[in-house]
Amino acid sequence: MVVGSLPTADGSAATAQAGCLIVLNSAGHAVKTISGPLINGPWDLTSVSNGVTSTLFVTNVLNGTVASGETPTDGGTVVRVGLISLFGHAPVVTSERVIADGFPEETNEAALVVGPTGDTLGEEGTLYVADTADNRIAAVPGAMFRQTALAGGAITIAKGGYLDAPLGMTLAPNGDILTANGANGNIVETTPGGAEFQPYETEAGEGGLFGLTLAPNGQGVYFVNDAENTLDLLH
C-alpha cells in the first residue's frame, strides 16, 4: 500500500512541507519513502499493478501555493511513478515523470490546500483527475506512456453541472467516473464523454465526503464519511 504524506507544523499552509509517499507492507509497517523534486504536496493517488511492476499517479498541490492568503496559482501537477517490487524486498523506483500540469491550486482555511485531488485510470489508458478548485473533471490521454506533460490542467470533460468541489474519484465497472463532491456530500457519475447522471445522495453532507472505492463484486461503493467518522456503503 502507498499513502501520501503532506506534513505541516501547525495545520496551516504556511508551514506545509513537500512531503513524500510512504510504502507500507502487508503488516502495515513502513518499508520505503519516495520523495524528490517532483513529489510536492501529494494530495491523492491511484495505482495499477501488473505482476512485479506498478505505476502510481500522484496529484500534487504545493507547486507555488504555500502561504495563507496567497494568490491562487496554476502549479498543480500529476506525476507518474514507476515501481518494481520483488518478493521480500522494498519497491524500487524505476521512473518519475510529470504527465500533466497547470492545475489551479489555492490555500483554504478548512482544507489546507485546494487543487487537483482524486484520480483514476480509465480502460483506454486515460487518467481522469478531479480538479477541485475549478470544479471539473480533467482527462490525461495516454497516461501510462506519455513522455511530455499535458499543459493547462489537461483536457476538460465535465465542468459544473452536478459537480460541486469534486474530491475523491474511482472508476465504475461500466467505465464511468464516480466523483465525491466535497461541497454537498453527493457522488456524481460521469461518462468519459462528459455526460452526468442524477447524483447519488449520501448522508455525509457538506465537507463529509472524500475518498471512495468500489465494493467487492460490484456490490456498491464504499465512501469515507468524515462527518460521522465512518466508512459507509452506498448500494
Residue 178: pLDDT band by 50, 70, 90 thresholds? very high
Q: Which of 37-51, 65-79, 97-111 has the lowest mean pLDDT?
A: 65-79
Question: From CA 178, how far away is CA 169, in angstroms rounded?
Answer: 6
Note the pLDDT tens digit of each residue in 214-235: 999 878 999 999 989 999 998 8
Residue 134: pLDDT band by 50, 70, 90 thresholds? very high
The pLDDT of residue 117 is above 80:
yes
Which single residue is written with the C-alpha cell 465542468?
Answer: 159
The pLDDT of residue 208 is above 80:
yes
Q: Which three cell numbers stand for residue 54?
A: 506498478
The pLDDT of residue 69 is above 70:
no
**105 and 80 in contact (C-beta within 8 Å)?**
no
Residue 116 carries which side chain, given as an amino acid letter? Answer: P
pLDDT of residue 12: 83
pLDDT of residue 101: 97
Q: Bridge-partner residues for 209, per DSSP?
A: 225
Which segments within the chain are labelled E, that is strand? 2-5, 20-24, 30-34, 42-50, 53-60, 73-84, 92-108, 112-114, 116-121, 127-131, 136-140, 155-159, 166-171, 177-181, 186-190, 200-201, 209-214, 221-225, 230-234
Q: For 32-96, give the secondary structure using H, E and C.
A: EEECCCCCCCEEEEEEEEECCEEEEEEEECCCCCCCCCCCCEEEEEEEEEEEECCCCCCCEEEEE
Residue of 59 and 109 predicted with greater confidence: 59
Give the residue extent of every domain in the chain. 1-112
